[in-house]
Structure 1
Amino acid sequence: MPRLRYLVPLLVVGAHAAQAEETTAGASLRAEREKVLDGSTIVVTASQFPQEIRQAPATMSVVTGEQLRRRPVQDLAEMLEDEPGVQINGVGMTRRGISIRGMSDEHVLTLVDGQRINDASANMAHVDFSLGWVPSIAIDRVEVVRGPLSALYGSEALAGVVNVMTRRPQDRIEASALAMQGFRDGAGGNSTQLAALLGGPVAEGLGVVAWGEYRRRDRTQSEEDPLLSELEARDALSGSVIAWWDVAAGHRIEIGQMASDDDRARDAVTTGRAPIYYAYQDHITRARTQARYNGAFNWGDVQLGAYRSVLERVNERDRDQTPTAPTKAIEAVVDGRVSVVPVAGNRLTFGAEHRNEKLEDVTINAAGQDSVDHDALFVQDEWEITKGATLTLGSRFDHHPAYGWEVSPRAYLVVEPVPGLTLRGGFGEAFKAATLKQLSPGYITVAAGGRFIITGNPDLKPETSTAYEVGALYHGENWNVGVTLFQNDLDNLVQTECVESCGIRGQERRTYLNVEAARIRGIEASAEVRPIEALTLSASYSYVDARNITEDEDLAERPDHTAKLRLAWEVGEATSVSLRGRYIGKQTVFANSAPVRLDAYSLWGLDASHAVTDRLTLKAGVDNIFNKRLADSSALYSLAEPGRVVFVGLGVAL
């Protein structure tokens, strides 16, 4: 709690200098829902320039900041759990990851304002450190692209891209403060969030925005063994300052600094013959420094950027247990693009990127550090073939010292044959570069409580995918409906395999090998309707058939069927209520190499917002209404639900 002293000044400023943001939030939310119904929501991630979502060369969805600030979301996974085609899966140690269309969380690229953040999972096991980077109070919207985008963004974008767009108040000084408290039904699991934002123009052409957040959640103990944690504790403080200068009309320079301090704690036990219970702690610090320039000229647009991200993890354990070695990952990126319109109806974009990735870890080699340079060129042509028909062609050329050039082509066609009806389809190839640890011949680490060691393999090939999709979307008056068929063929998936002394504890050696091919295909359907002005009903359904082609078996932890429902009701001018439901179908897991089918389950949540005055908004609700606990059904689920949580909150604007 001493950390709160850093946030109190910002909360005080937010409470005394705010414009009436909360009073306009309801109107903004209604306006956003209107745009969703008619497909006019503006997005940028699919093509790197603004366009309506119905015209974007990809299957996309958007979550707005107003939606997120209605309930106490802890991280990006909780922000996106209600989105079509998105599934939250376990990554180990009670932590979660984001899966898109049955693909692993390691195949989802996360961006903040279009810039990649350190992929913690690339060099650390069982981590979700990429998900708690930006709090809801600082988010304008989150854009989700389902389908490969390596043609624009390079490695890791096999399943899709999640782009967190942060707020930039432009017209006036804005200030807001948010406080949320969650109470879990049972011992432990209570949560606290305190956040504030202040920003806007401070002089002619000059602007600044600053935000800060304190977020905490208590650990939840296992009912089967109270000495173990079912969910770990979190204690995080984060903040950012971003300033911009409009040098001239259409020309902006922006600089910024973001930082976070995230502590995790849980009770664990060893796996040996004489189990030892111990306390496990991770201390994670992140920082990012950025600068960029956007310019609009008579002949086209230019964007230049440079940013540096640092992630550091220090692990501690008591009871004489050996901690994981400290890890520090550093990425420095310089990129740029030029977009021109050589002829009417044709937009041509060229870009380049240089990225240096450095890792400091005593296990990676004798020197305790390694680095690699990624260089890339890309080109994209969006061509309006005829009125209502647009073809996007593009390719990216990435160079990696370990395996040379990797080419990621993409083609996508969007056609509007009649008003309201959009037909779309295309294909794309993508890849994921092997990590520094996986490629290092000197990498060696002890895993699984001492049962075996893992070594690197410099002969690894990149994981690759070829994806296809075709779909249709219709926007009627006060309703829309869409359906998409997709298939993703994956090759050279990396896994650890035993190569020496297999089955002998303490002597077994495993290494990374390209051993698997997989095929994931399925269907997504979504619909939204507003039967009356105050009521909006939205629903989505996904079917995923995920097969390991090499072993001729199901891929683990991919639910066959997923359905999501949301009912939003505007109860007068001051009150809104939202009911959310998720159905997670049966899925296959493996216990001692034998496939086991886990039961389906459903989760429901309810939240409400009421404007008490023009400056004060009360928020309340309940997550996991029926107190579903997955461990009651099976101990094989890789994630845990926190149980029923009742929350209350206040939004302040003065």
Structure 2
Amino acid sequence: MNNDRLLPGYFFILAATITASTGALAQTAEDGTILLEPIVVTATSSERFLKDAPASVTVVTGEELRERPVQDLAQAVEGTPGVQLTGIGLGRRGISIRGMLPEQTLVLVDGMRVSNSASAVAHSDYELGWVPAEAIERIEVVRGPMSSLYGSEALGGVVNIITRQATDKWRGSFGSLGQLTEHGLGGGGHNFSFYAGGPIIPGILGLNIWGQYRARPELVSPHDERLSSLGDEKAFTGNATLTWTPDAQQRIDLSYGAGSEKRWRNTQGAGRFPTFYRSDDDITRRHVSLSHTGDWDWGTSRVRIYSSMLERENERSDGAPVSGPQKFTDAAGDAQVSFSPLDNHKVTVGGEIRRERLDDPTVNESGRAEQTHFATFIQDEISLGDKWELVLGSRFDDHEAFGWHASPRTYLLYHLNDALTFKGGVGAGFKAPTLKQLSPEYEAIAGGGRFTIVGNPDLEPETNLSFEAGFEYQQGIWSARAMAFQNNVDNLIQAVCVIRCSGAPGATWSYENVDEARIRGIEIGGGVELPWDMRLDANYTLLDPIDRATGERLPDRSRHAANATVSWSPLESLKTSLRVNYIGSQKTTTASGSQGAYTLVSVNGDYALNEHASLQFGIENIGDVRLADESGDYAFADEGRRYFLGLRAKF
């Protein structure tokens, strides 16, 4: 059967959902109250109401995160529409958006890139731990390529962490959390975090500071105590930001952040008689930024310079050659201005220069590779009367290896009324090969010593042409949304065997543009205020990911995913929630070739002791689904049923 014929069917289902939902919701919501709309910035690089964002955007608030046990960014966005957590090796997880790979998700902090360590360190998830929940104002998840604004890596989508900002009054909070597992194999943990922000000189100079310590002991494999299902982790992170407002039109921010992380895990070498050894990682990270924003009579401006660095050193207890050390540095400067040349146009023009450098003994003979990216972009937000809006834009990137690359995007919004908005658009994205992948001298031992992997200077960038169309509705106690989408992905880069591919040790692998994929699907969701101070929010994603070369389903992507949260406030001082996350069966790259469906159920509560302190408590993974510890079919591990207790104070 030709899978391309399924697309009209998807849009038919979408149309039917629109008709059924809007009719029922509009009728029910006639006497409802109007909900305040969140502000988002990631979709256009400027502030907009969420319902007016020309993209599929989900907002996760910081208050929501601080009411449940959130250890990293993956846990923070778990359960949001179109997002799945997928295995990246060593029991770790990455963020996949609409079936795209985790390395095709761009992570930003306040709109600025953090070091993409996955391009230098295998199985890296270091981007997930830069900011603690205590310091987060909100997280914006944009689904679909955003290379028109952010360039390479934004092939599948963008996750932008917006941090809390100082105000004209001091405010702060402190949180502590302990977690206990019930199998006696470790994997519990605890963390302490704080945030404080306010004026040093009222109206002129402000300060934000935050920090975190988190620890998770090793989760021992129940099958062999010499192996770790999850490694031991201990991390310190801190940040300070000075904000100077010399007048009502200007703002200058200077920020410095640093972190230190130690990880170790017990693992097994390759070969007929494998050895067991301990692998230790020391990770250091730094981030510094200086920005100026202006709100002028003619428009707005923003200028930034920033740099992020991540360094990793590895040791092995068996004395074998180590991986690394690696140091990844990303330095960038960007500027943009927005103005309205005509009453119905808002034009944004900007540019960026970025220098990335990798220090790694395997990348080439000198142990260092670097490249410079130049980019410019233009965006026009056009108001076509009271109901229609058109957003046109494109970014033009100049890559040292590939020259200029254009990433255009067009998006249309139709506001039928204050409650219902139709959205649709088409956009292009790209992801350039990493420094290692492109280096003709790159050569490293991989697969636990089973093979050697080498670079390929003839690689082409991965590209994505994406389409989406749907609606969003919000009126009174009801909200609903539905979106159909399709990603046409070309030149996917994969490591393939090229020499001595019999399966025995000694093979040589390299990177090649081998795959063409078509990933289409539907996202449906909504929420409603229920009686007895309850609320229900739910979403469902259907994916149809196909390898166009073979016609087979792409691995490591679930066809069905559903999430639901029931919130209940039986007392003024008590807030509770029940979360259900369902991930359907999927084809995998594990030995069995498949992974069964599973459901995770969690419950948590937040009890206010007084106006300044609250107690958090609950059970994660009530069903005790062990995933990788129960079966080798699963690509990442879970600690199983665990209990948590925390205390949060604020002023």
The DSSP-based 3-state class of the residue aligned with 1:223 is coil
Corresponding position of 1:614: 611
Given that 2:590 and 2:632 are in contact with CA atoms closer than 8 Å, whether structure 1 keeps it comes out as no
Distance 1:38 1:533 in 2: 19
1:181 aligns with 2:178: yes
Deviation at 1:506, TM superposition (A): 4.5
Corresponding position of 2:24: none
Distance 2:236 2:34 in 1: 37
Given that 1:94 and 1:639 are in contact with CA atoms closer than 8 Å, whether structure 2 keeps it comes out as yes
Deviation at 1:320, TM superposition (A): 2.1
Deviation at 1:340, TM superposition (A): 0.4
- The counterpart of 2:645, out of the listed 630, 638, 648, is 648
The DSSP-based 3-state class of the residue aligned with 2:605 is strand
Distance 1:266 1:504 in 2: 27
Given that 1:38 and 1:480 are in contact with CA atoms closer than 8 Å, whether structure 2 keeps it comes out as no
Corresponding position of 2:192: 194
1:570-649 mapped onto 2 (5 Å cutoff): 570-591=569-590, 596-631=593-628, 634-649=631-646
1:226-245 mapped onto 2 (5 Å cutoff): 226-245=225-244
Deviation at 1:472, TM superposition (A): 1.1
Distance 2:371 2:229 in 1: 38
1:401-480 mapped onto 2 (5 Å cutoff): 401-480=400-479
Of 175-184 and 148-157, deviating more is 175-184
Distance 1:369 1:383 in 2: 45
1:383-402 mapped onto 2 (5 Å cutoff): 383-402=382-401
- The counterpart of 1:96, out of the listed 90, 93, 97, is 93
TM-score in terms of structure 2 length: 0.93
1:138-157 mapped onto 2 (5 Å cutoff): 138-157=135-154
User: CA offsets, 1:285-343, max 9 Å, x none?
Assistant: 11001000000111111100000111001111102232102000111100000100111
Deviation at 1:502, TM superposition (A): 2.2
> What letter corresponds to residue 196 of structure 1 in structure 2?
F
Distance 1:458 1:36 in 2: 59
The DSSP-based 3-state class of the residue aligned with 1:449 is helix
Corresponding position of 2:337: 338
User: CA offsets, 1:473-519, max 9 Å, x none?
Assistant: 22122111111000000000111122222226443211111111001
The DSSP-based 3-state class of the residue aligned with 1:630 is coil
Corresponding position of 1:302: 301
- Structural RMSD (CA): 1.5
Corresponding position of 1:52: 49
> What letter corresponds to residue 352 of structure 1 in structure 2?
G
Deviation at 1:614, TM superposition (A): 2.3
Given that 1:472 and 1:484 are in contact with CA atoms closer than 8 Å, whether structure 2 keeps it comes out as yes
Distance 2:474 2:486 in 1: 25
Given that 2:229 and 2:628 are in contact with CA atoms closer than 8 Å, whether structure 1 keeps it comes out as no
> What letter corresponds to residue 347 of structure 1 in structure 2?
K
Given that 1:269 and 1:278 are in contact with CA atoms closer than 8 Å, whether structure 2 keeps it comes out as yes
Change (3 A) 1:573 1:39: closer
User: CA offsets, 1:271-294, max 9 Å, x none?
Assistant: 211111111111111100100000
Corresponding position of 1:534: 533
User: CA offsets, 1:608-649, max 9 Å, x none?
Assistant: 011112222111111101111113653121011111110001
Distance 2:527 2:181 in 1: 32
> What letter corresponds to residue 587 of structure 1 in structure 2?
Q
Distance 2:174 2:243 in 1: 23
Given that 1:547 and 1:555 are in contact with CA atoms closer than 8 Å, whether structure 2 keeps it comes out as yes
The DSSP-based 3-state class of the residue aligned with 1:343 is coil
Deviation at 1:569, TM superposition (A): 1.1
Given that 2:267 and 2:276 are in contact with CA atoms closer than 8 Å, whether structure 1 keeps it comes out as yes
Change (3 A) 1:168 1:65: same
Given that 1:599 and 1:633 are in contact with CA atoms closer than 8 Å, whether structure 2 keeps it comes out as no
1:523 aligns with 2:526: no
- The counterpart of 1:168, out of the listed 161, 165, 168, is 165
Corresponding position of 1:265: 264
Percent of pairs identical after alignment?
41
Distance 1:128 1:591 in 2: 20
Corresponding position of 1:125: 122
Deviation at 1:525, TM superposition (A): 0.3
Corresponding position of 1:217: 216
Of 105-114 and 313-322, deviating more is 313-322
Given that 2:532 and 2:570 are in contact with CA atoms closer than 8 Å, whether structure 1 keeps it comes out as no
Distance 2:122 2:456 in 1: 17
Deviation at 1:140, TM superposition (A): 0.5
Distance 1:554 1:74 in 2: 32
Corresponding position of 1:18: none
User: CA offsets, 1:56-97, max 9 Å, x none?
Assistant: 000010111111111221110011112111100110011110
Given that 2:167 and 2:198 are in contact with CA atoms closer than 8 Å, whether structure 1 keeps it comes out as yes
The DSSP-based 3-state class of the residue aligned with 1:553 is coil
Change (3 A) 1:278 1:289: same
User: CA offsets, 1:93-133, max 9 Å, x none?
Assistant: 11110001111001100000000111111122111011001
Given that 2:177 and 2:647 are in contact with CA atoms closer than 8 Å, whether structure 1 keeps it comes out as yes
Corresponding position of 1:5: none
Distance 1:473 1:254 in 2: 35
User: CA offsets, 1:404-457, max 9 Å, x none?
Assistant: 111100000011123311100000000001111011111110111222111111
Distance 1:646 1:424 in 2: 42
Distance 2:501 2:302 in 1: 53
